[in-house]
């Protein structure tokens, strides 16, 4: 029987794109998450909390390849260290992980934790691949929707983003997962770089609203490195194709992006 590929976080934004692609490539998939999901053709679910469960080995056992997507607002370093421990005991032969562009450069707690998670993978002694991706279009839309709930919107000056389509990140991760372990591969960012002010203005225009915009300066070292572009893809990065404008138009047409 063919070994399943374990996908942690396979029920999330990215995971929902990844799982059907792995199935289409002919692989059985085991999804790990806290809440689980309905089994489908060739897809099984295990429930486990990567942060709390002391023994994750049964969830990993029998999977030669692990694609680690599960992540949250905090604790990704600990969650990844726990997964790595179980993967080592289960003789995993390829551990693939998705991180965030700037994890190694932006001094914010959640990015430090992503960087520590990368290190846990690289130091695992297992063959590994890590892809750093830019913010997904979905996240940028959530961010803009939340920001524009207020009548007056603070806009950090000099903050730029390179939103990328989650489906394109998923396709790249599936190629990497089915390929040979490759270490740290080139970043994957969207096709264009946008100022946050520009994204906000475009979103307000597209949703037919006005908001008072209040320019603010991001404080401290994190503010400085953001203004310097430490969250942007390095030269040599892979760039996605689907633009933010195309994504937003699609969401607004379907009604899903309406405030
Ligand atoms: N969103 C972005 O813009 C972006 C950009 C670059 C990289 N990334 C990285 O891509 C990965 C996936 O992001 P996403 O946007 O798809 O996230 P998401 O939509 O929030 O999904 C997170 C997934 O992880 C699972 N999960 C969370 N905490 C868990 C835990 N402690 N134990 C087990 N499962 C857990 C969730 O299921 P349950 O809640 O049921 O456990 C869900 O399946 C993350 O590592 C993130 O850092 C995201």
Contact (CB, 8 A) for 94 and 63: no
User: 98 CB less than 6 Å from ligand 1?
Assistant: yes
User: 177 CB less than 6 Å from ligand 1?
Assistant: no
Give the torsion through C-alpha atoms of 53, 58, 64, 69, to 10 deg: -30
Testing ligand 1's pocket by substitution, the residue of 55, 67, 70 carrying the most ligand atoms inside 8 A of its CB is: 70
CA distances 194 to 56, 93, 164, 250, Å, are 41, 39, 11, 19
- Alpha helix positions (H), 90-195: 109-122, 137-147, 166-178
User: 37 CB less than 6 Å from ligand 1?
Assistant: no
pLDDT of residue 147: 96
200-253: per-residue pLDDT in tens?
999 999 999 999 999 999 999 999 999 999 999 999 999 999 999 999 999 999
Beta strands in the chain (DSSP E): 5-8, 29-33, 43-47, 65-68, 94-100, 128-133, 152-156, 160-161, 183-184, 188-189, 194-195, 212-216, 238-239
Which tokens is 76 given? 């990704």
CA distances 222 to 16, 107, 156, 186, 200, Å, are 32, 6, 12, 23, 21
- Nearest-CA residue for ligand 1 atom 46 is 71
Instruction: Please check the confidence at residue 258 and state whether its pLDDT lies above 80.
Output: no
pLDDT of residue 214: 95
Cα(30) to centroid(ligand 1), Å = 16
Helices (H) and strands (E) in the chain, counts: 9, 13
The whole-angstrom separation of Cα 94 and Cα 114 is: 19
User: 139 CB less than 6 Å from ligand 1?
Assistant: yes
Question: pLDDT-based confidence at 91, cuts 50/70/90?
Answer: confident
46-64: per-residue pLDDT in tens?
999 999 987 899 999 999 9
User: 53 CB less than 6 Å from ligand 1?
Assistant: no
Cα(179) to centroid(ligand 1), Å = 23
Q: Say if pTM beats, i.e. exceeds, 0.85.
A: yes
Q: Residue 201, Cα to own-chain centre: how many angstroms?
A: 25
Instruction: Please check the confidence at residue 257 and state whether its pLDDT lies above 80.
Output: no
Cα(15) to centroid(ligand 1), Å = 8
Cα(208) to centroid(ligand 1), Å = 32
User: 14 CB less than 6 Å from ligand 1?
Assistant: yes
């Amino acid at each position: 029987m063919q070994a399943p590929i374990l996908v942690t976080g396979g029920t999330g934004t990215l995971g929902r794109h990844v799982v059907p692609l792995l199935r289409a490539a002919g692989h059985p998939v085991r999804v790990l998450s806290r809440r689980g999901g309905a089994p489908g053709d060739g897809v099984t679910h295990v429930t486990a909390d990567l942060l709390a469960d002391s023994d994750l080995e049964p969830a990993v056992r029998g999977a030669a390849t692990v694609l680690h997507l599960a992540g949250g607002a905090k604790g990704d370093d600990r969650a990844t260290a726990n997964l790595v421990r179980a993967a080592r005991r289960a003789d995993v032969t390829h551990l693939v992980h998705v991180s965030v562009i700037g994890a190694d450069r932006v001094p914010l707690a959640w990015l430090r934790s992503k960087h520590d998670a990368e290190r846990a993978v690289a130091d695992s002694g297992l063959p590994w691949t890590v892809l750093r991706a830019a913010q997904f279009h979905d996240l940028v839309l959530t961010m803009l929707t939340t920001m524009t709930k207020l009548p007056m919107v603070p806009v950090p000056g000099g903050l730029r983003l390179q939103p990328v389509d989650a489906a394109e990140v998923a396709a790249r991760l599936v190629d990497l997962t089915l390929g040979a372990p490759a270490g740290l591969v080139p970043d994957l960012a969207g096709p264009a770089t946008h100022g946050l002010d520009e994204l906000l203005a475009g979103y307000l225009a597209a949703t037919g609203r006005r908001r008072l915009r209040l320019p603010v300066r991001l404080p401290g070292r994190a503010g400085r490195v953001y203004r310097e572009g430490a969250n942007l893809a390095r030269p040599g990065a892979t760039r996605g194709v689907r633009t933010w404008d195309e994504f937003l138009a699609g969401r607004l047409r379907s009604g899903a992006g309406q405030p």
